[in-house]
């Protein structure tokens, strides 16, 4: 992994602006600037791991924190009544473009199917 700060690390450090939805000691949740659903919030751990597999292997508790924050975001955004999706993209073929693990919380409308 490069030593260069990712976009998300710069948001966590408050070097770049973001519309923050929720924050804990270990996670930060903010609105995606290119939403793919009516509600699209990203949840990132404050400690950088490249992808969800790396995070799960290194720090299962932090992965649990990310999921708990995603669930809290769904509640705060009013998504828990009709349903929502939590998505982790792992590496470039899955569409990951920022290599700092992050969960997408999507909802607020009927969502389509996965894949092509």
Phi, psi of 97 (to 5 degrees): -115, -20
CB 108 within 8 A of CB 102: no
User: In the structure, what pLDDT confidence band is assigned to residue 19 with cuts at 50, 70 and 90?
Assistant: very high
Q: Catalytic residue numbers?
A: 102
Three-state SS for 43?
A: strand
CB 70 within 8 A of CB 21: no
32-77 pLDDT tens trace: 999 999 999 999 999 999 999 999 999 999 999 999 999 999 999 9
User: In the structure, what pLDDT confidence band is assigned to residue 114 with cuts at 50, 70 and 90?
Assistant: confident
């Amino acid at each position: 992994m490069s030593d260069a700060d990712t976009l998300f690390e710069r948001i966590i450090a408050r070097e770049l602006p973001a519309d923050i939805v929720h924050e804990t000691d270990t996670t930060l949740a903010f609105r995606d600037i290119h939403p793919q659903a009516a509600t699209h919030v990203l949840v990132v751990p404050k400690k950088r791991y490249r992808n969800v597999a790396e995070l799960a292997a290194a720090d299962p508790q932090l992965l649990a924190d990310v999921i708990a924050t995603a669930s809290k975001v769904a509640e705060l955004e009013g998504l828990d009544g009709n349903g929502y999706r939590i998505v982790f993209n792992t590496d470039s073929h899955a569409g990951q473009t920022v290599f700092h693990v992050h969960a997408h919380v999507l909802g607020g409308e009927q969502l389509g199917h996965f894949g092509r």
